[in-house]
Amino acid sequence: MSRIGKKPVAVPSGVTVTVEGQTISVKGPKGQLSWTLADEIEARLEGQELILAKRNESTRAQAMWGLSRTLVANMVTGVTQGYERVLELVGVGYRAALKGTNLSMQLGFSHDVEIKPPAGITFTVPRQTEIRISGIDKQAVGELAAQIRRIRPPEPYKGKGVRYAGEKVRRKEGKKK
C-alpha cells in the first residue's frame, strides 16, 4: 500500500488548483503548470487540500497513486518556490558566461558550447565556474542540468568536467612506475 498516495497535497495561500476531469492545473505567483492524471486515479479538492484516490485496486493504480501525488506536490512547490540546480565547472580554462539568455561554455573543445534555454528556464552565472539553472518545472530543470553535465562529465583521473554542486567524484590512482 502506498504511504505517499495517502498523504493529501497541501495547497498554500496564493495558489489556485483546478481539477477538470483528469487534468490538474496549478497556478501560483511564479507561473502555471498542468498535468493529466492516469485513468486509474481520481482527484478531489477539499478545502485547502487536494486528495488523490485510486479508482480500483490494480497494480498499475497502486503505482500511479504515489507517482501522481508526488508530481502534483512538485507542481505546487514549483509555482510557489521554484527549483534550482547548481553545476560546477572544474578544469583549467573551463568557464561559462551568458550571451543574452543563452549559456556559452568553454569546456576544452575547439569550439564554445552554446545552449539555448527552453521556455520557463533561466540560466544565471554568478561565477565563471558556476551555473545556476532555475525554473518552475522540476523535471525540466533536472533534465537540462543532466544534458549539460553529459557534454563533459567528470573524468576519474583529474576530476575535470561539469559536475553537480557537492558531487563527489571517485578518483582513480593512475599509472605507477
Predicted confidence at residue 55, as pLDDT, reads 92
Convert the pLDDT of each residue in 14-49 to its tens digit. Answer: 999 999 989 999 999 999 999 999 999 999 999 899
User: For 177, what's the count of Cα atoms within 13 Å in the CB-facing half-sphere?
Assistant: 0
Domain layout of the chain by residue ranges:
3-80, 83-164
Does the structural domain 83-164 have CATH classification 3.90.930.12? yes
pLDDT digits (tens, 9 = 90+) for 98-131: 999 999 999 999 999 999 999 999 999 999 999 9
pLDDT in tens, 62-73: 999 999 999 999
Q: What is the pLDDT of residue 1?
A: 56
13: Cβ contacts below 8 Å, ≥ 6 apart? 48
Express each pLDDT in 4-20 by its tens digit: 889 999 999 999 999 99
- In CATH terms, 3-80 corresponds, of 3.30.43.10, 3.10.20.30, 3.90.930.12, 3.40.1210.10, to 3.90.930.12
Would the pTM count as exceeding 0.95?
Answer: no
At 177 the pLDDT is: 78
Mapping DSSP onto H, E and C, the string for the chain reads CCHHHHCCEECCCCCEEEEECCEEEEEECCEEEEEECCCCEEEEEECCEEEEEECCCCHHHHHHHHHHHHHHHHHHHHHHCCEEEEEEEECCCCEEEEECCEEEEECCCCCCEEECCCCCEEEEEEECCEEEEEECCHHHHHHHHHHHHHHCCCCCCCCCEEEECCCCCCCCCCCCC
**Percentage of the chain exceeding pLDDT 90:** 89
Domains 3-80 and 83-164 share a fold: yes
Residue 36's alpha-carbon distances to 44, 99, 167, in angstroms, are 14, 36, 34
CB contact set of 169 (below 8 Å; sequence gap of 6+): 154, 156, 159, 163
166-175 pLDDT, tens digit each: 999 999 998 8
